[in-house]
Chain A
């Protein structure tokens, strides 16, 4: 069975600072990994996904994530935070047996002016 751990339920950064949201996974088979963003009272929007191609994945809104098998990590980064990045971020893992997603607990990103 697979699992996802997101370290830090709340992360606060200043506008213009680096954003780093941590995600570690556990999977017995090569995983597919996703980052979703959720704004208040909205559904989940896909930021990016890893599907065993390039280990550095670029997504929307300037976000990227690097798959590190040795560390079982898939951390999300953005060089410079913007106020509009304030939202909840979910890391999720899926394996080959259908498209079931296992979500991490989520990280709420706050951006200070």
Chain B
């Protein structure tokens, strides 16, 4: 089945120790998103890639970076995690066609990050 996969599902890191979260997809979608979701809150968009074009949300901290080496993979790098970065990180994908259309975002199962 076509899907969005996130690894690992649970990640524990130490304060200030860089960490990388991984997302892969078999849907061949051209857009990939990273969201941060804190407890009892809605997901908050950090950034997205439209093909190779990176789009950062205005309020995303510089501590968060992303890489998309190819269509299938996208990584979230947190350079120096703080206690406030503990959250669920969700990857999503969609297919953006030309013109005034919108398509559905499909989410992965998420990675829960704990910062000690």
Interface residues of B in 43-96 (CB under 8 A from A): 43, 45, 48, 50, 88, 90, 92, 94, 96
Whether the pair B42, A34 counts as a contact (CB closer than 8 A) is no
Q: Please pick, from B6, B40, B90, the residue contacting A106 in the complex, using a CB distance under 8 A.
A: B40
Closest chain B CB from A27 CB (angstroms): 12
Whether the pair A106, B41 counts as a contact (CB closer than 8 A) is yes
A80–B109 Cα distance when bound, in Å, is 27
Whether the pair A44, B96 counts as a contact (CB closer than 8 A) is no
A45–B50 Cα distance when bound, in Å, is 22
Residue in A44, A49, A51, A96 whose Cβ sees the most chain B Cβ within 10 Å? A44
Q: Please pick, from A42, A51, A101, A106, the residue contacting B110 in the complex, using a CB distance under 8 A.
A: A42
Whether the pair B42, A90 counts as a contact (CB closer than 8 A) is yes
User: Known contacts being A44-B43, A44-B90, A106-B41, is A101 close to B50, with CB within 8 Å?
Assistant: no
Whether the pair A99, B100 counts as a contact (CB closer than 8 A) is no
* Contact residues in B for A49 (Cβ distance below 8 Å): 104
A75–B4 Cα distance when bound, in Å, is 28
A45–B108 Cα distance when bound, in Å, is 9
Q: Please pick, from B6, B40, B45, B100, the residue contacting A100 in the complex, using a CB distance under 8 A.
A: B45
Give the contact-size bracket for chain A. 20 to 34
Whether the pair A101, B108 counts as a contact (CB closer than 8 A) is no
Whether the pair A42, B102 counts as a contact (CB closer than 8 A) is no
A103–B107 Cα distance when bound, in Å, is 14
User: Known contacts being A104-B42, A106-B40, A106-B41, is A43 close to B90, with CB within 8 Å?
Assistant: yes
Closest chain B CB from A75 CB (angstroms): 18
User: Known contacts being A41-B110, A41-B112, A44-B90, is A101 close to B105, with CB within 8 Å?
Assistant: yes
* Contact residues in A for B96 (Cβ distance below 8 Å): 98-99
Q: Give per-residue flags for A9-38: 1 if the beta carbon is below 8 A from chain B beta carbons, else 0.
A: 000000000000000000000001010100
Interface residues of A in 83-101 (CB under 8 A from B): 90, 94-96, 98-101
Could you list which residues of chain B lie within 8 angstroms of chain A, going by C-beta atoms? Answer: 4, 6, 31, 40-43, 45, 48, 50, 88, 90, 92, 94, 96, 100-110, 112
| Closest A-B pairs by Cβ, 7 of them | A43-B107, A103-B42, A96-B100, A44-B107, A43-B109, A99-B94, A43-B110
